[in-house]
């Protein structure tokens, strides 16, 4: 399937919010380095800014700035689960914007195995924010139509395509402690 990512990339460059399918649910994203876009995304969802957001990439090299300072053993644990539906909390090395990290000393990161996410991140040239496409407290959107009904004109672009075949969001695990936070 050919997918044109120009509208999504243009929207990201302009500080917009985009929607796209992930491994298990639809996601909302923005430029992880744009404070205004991060604030807009949090407000759109009605999400508490203290919670933080996930950074999703199509390739581990796209996360290299955020992974600086992580030892080889920890890096190996990441590589054993990526690409895939495994989100890891890594120590923030100072690279993450405060709204991306929330109140946490860690940053949530994932390298997706979803082909559309991989191609989106390649077209964009790096990772994008990934948070479930829903208003706080509601179920995540499972289709582009649900995203359109919920967020309508608030989105700069929708990367239409199928979900990745999983029936739930990614697992979340702390890289340093191994503790499972979301199964």
Can you give the pLDDT at residue 2? Answer: 46
What does the alpha-carbon distance between residue 110 and residue 87 come to, in Å, rounded to a whole number?
5
What is residue 152's predicted lDDT score, i.e. its pLDDT?
85
pTM score, whole prediction: 0.94
pLDDT of residue 3: 63
Report residues of the chain scoring pLDDT below 70. Answer: 1-3
Q: What is the mean pLDDT of the chain?
A: 94
Q: What are 102-155's pLDDT values in tens digits? A: 999 999 999 999 999 999 999 999 999 999 999 999 999 999 999 999 998 999
Q: Burial, 183: exposed, middle or buried (Cβ in 10 Å; 0-12, 13-18, 19+)?
A: exposed
The string over 74-96, giving b where at least 16 C-beta atoms fall within 10 Å of a residue's C-beta and e elsewhere, is beebbeebbbbbbbbbbbbeebb
CA 6 to chain centre: 19
Would you state the pLDDT for residue 165?
86
What is the structure's pLDDT at 183?
A: 83
């Amino acid at each position: 399937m050919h997918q044109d990512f120009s509208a999504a990339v243009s929207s990201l460059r302009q500080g917009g919010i985009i929607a796209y399918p992930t491994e298990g649910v639809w996601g909302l994203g923005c430029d992880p380095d744009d404070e205004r876009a991060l604030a807009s995304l949090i407000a759109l969802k009605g999400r508490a800014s203290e919670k933080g957001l996930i950074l999703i990439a199509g390739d581990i090299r796209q996360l290299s700035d955020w992974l600086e300072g992580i030892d080889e053993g920890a890096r190996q644990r990441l590589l054993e689960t990526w690409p895939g539906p495994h989100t890891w909390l890594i120590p923030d090395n100072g690279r993450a914007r405060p709204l991306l990290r929330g109140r946490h000393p860690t940053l949530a990161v994932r390298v997706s195995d979803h082909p559309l996410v991989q191609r989106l991140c390649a077209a964009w040239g790096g990772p994008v924010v990934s948070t479930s496409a829903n208003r706080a407290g509601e179920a995540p959107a499972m289709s582009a139509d649900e995203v359109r009904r919920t967020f309508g004109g608030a989105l700069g672009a929708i990367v239409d395509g199928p979900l990745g075949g999983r029936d739930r969001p990614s697992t979340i695990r702390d890289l340093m402690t191994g503790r499972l936070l979301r199964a």
